[in-house]
Every structure is written in structure tokens, then in C-alpha cells.
């Protein structure tokens, strides 16, 4: 098991999302939700640092608490080539 680095693009998306108001985050998810979910899932799959994993899980929890219908973002067809649930089951 080897840890990978977060790509520049993923880091940009996380920084754009991080420490924003709930309304700003909601707008980002409305505009490009699948991209954010892909980044979150990729971090959970590739990064093994406990603090990072806990932080991303907290972001996902806040995202779903804000609007449970956002769970549909995890079923987006662009995630079809990845096992979306694998990071949660490992």
C-alpha cells in the first residue's frame, strides 16, 4: 500500500471549497458537484494520513448534512470507472 500525492488540480478544488460559507459551498456543488466528489473519493482512496482522511470525511458529512439529496453526486456516471464506495469499505 503506497500513499500518493494530491494532484495540483485536486488541491485547487479543495482550496476553493475549504473554509467557505455553507451558501458558497452549496453553489460550488451545484455548479460542479461531481468534480468535488471525485476529488473527495480520490483523496480517501489514495491518501492514508489519518488527519487528512478525517478532514475529508468531515467535508463529505457536512456536504450531505446540508442537503441529503447531494448523495446523488456519488452516483454520477463520471465516477463509473472508479469504485466509489471502496474507500469507505477499506
77 has pLDDT over 80: no
- DSSP track, 21-83: -HHHHHHHHHHHHHHHHHHHHHHHHH---HHHHHHHHHHHHHHHHH-GGGGGGGG-GGGTTS-
Residue written as grid cell 488527519: 51
In terms of pLDDT, which residue wins out, 68 or 87?
68
Which pLDDT tens digit goes with each residue over 22-76?
A: 999 999 999 999 999 999 998 988 888 899 999 999 999 999 999 999 999 988 7
12 has pLDDT over 70: yes
Does residue 28 fall inside a structural domain? yes
Distance between CA atoms of residues 25 and 16, nearest Å: 9
Boundaries of domain holding 66:
8-89
The total domain count for the chain is 1
Does residue 19 fall inside a structural domain? yes
pLDDT at residue 73 in the model? 92
Does residue 1 fall inside a structural domain? no
Amino acid at each position: 500500500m503506497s500513499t500518493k500525492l494530491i494532484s495540483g488540480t485536486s488541491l485547487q478544488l479543495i482550496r476553493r471549497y475549504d473554509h467557505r460559507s455553507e451558501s458558497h459551498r452549496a453553489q460550488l456543488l451545484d455548479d460542479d458537484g461531481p468534480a468535488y466528489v471525485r476529488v473527495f473519493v480520490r483523496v480517501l482512496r489514495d491518501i492514508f494520513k489519518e488527519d487528512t482522511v478525517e478532514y475529508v470525511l468531515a467535508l463529505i458529512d457536512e456536504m450531505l448534512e446540508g442537503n441529503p439529496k447531494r448523495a446523488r453526486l456519488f452516483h454520477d456516471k463520471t465516477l463509473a470507472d472508479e469504485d466509489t464506495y471502496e474507500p469507505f469499505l477499506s
